Amino acid sequence: MKFTDSPVIELPVNDAVLSLHQDNGSMHVGTSVWPCSLVLVKFMERWASPSDNNPYARVVDFGGKRAVELGTGCGVAGMGLFLLGLTDMVLTDISPVMPALKRNLKVNKPTLRKALKHSVLYWNNPQQIAALNPPFDFVVATDVVYIRESVPSLVSAMETLVSDDGVVLLGYQLRSPEAHQLFWELCDKAFHIEKVPNEHLHPDYNYEETTVYLLRKKNEKH
């Protein structure tokens, strides 16, 4: 499912509203707004206050943390998490998607109050990965698993970019059975996988096909 009925999707985050411009007629999937990005942002918003009875207190503790988003597309997740306090964030995608991302960053600059960092990144390019200066406390990725051929590079990039005690925030929807199977096989080797229960998602952004996973390295130090 993608939101084909409107060229603009609005996403309320705290007291702000992001205005997300999409182009569903484009040749690139990165120019559309996909539900997983909205689901992830609203999940994080729901649990945004660290407290004693918050099971995600560590995950929403954004103070002084660095983050990178893979396959940012229109920039939904990155901008949303920025508004929730994850302000040291770099948004990445392939070159053809950059115009759509830059347009959305410009449109939302009054809301964001600054220009967010962005960079071209191909997951199979070690030089581009190294140039981002990993590791990061958070790696953000939503709806990035749909081509089997790209899966090994994706998982390798996530593993390289996230710190030993960091978290991959993954918004997920099954797109391709082949990609799905390989992705989770490779993730199982590299990460501890925690699936967020459906009832922990935001009640208004809780689509049957989408879910959120928290991935942590198996070689974590704690």
Task: Phi first, then psi: give them for residue 150, nearest 5 degrees.
Answer: -90, -10
Q: What is the pLDDT of residue 29?
A: 52
Sequence-distant (6+) residues with CB within 8 A of 120 are 92, 93, 94, 95, 98, 128
Q: What is the pLDDT of residue 2?
A: 45
Q: Sign of dihedral through CA atoms 162, 166, 169, 175?
A: positive
Q: Hey, how many other C-beta atoms are within 10 angstroms of the C-beta on 10?
A: 9
Q: What is the pLDDT of residue 45?
A: 96
Q: What is the pLDDT of residue 5?
A: 56
Structure tokens at 130: 């190294």
C-beta separation of 123 from 68 below 8 A: no
For 81-121, what is each residue's pLDDT tens digit? 999 999 999 999 999 999 989 999 999 999 999 889 999 99
Q: What is the pLDDT of residue 22?
A: 73
Rg over CA atoms, the chain = 16
C-beta separation of 197 from 179 below 8 A: no
Structure tokens at 181: 């199977």
Q: What is the pLDDT of residue 188?
A: 97
The residue ranges of the chain whose pLDDT is under 50 are 1-2, 27, 222
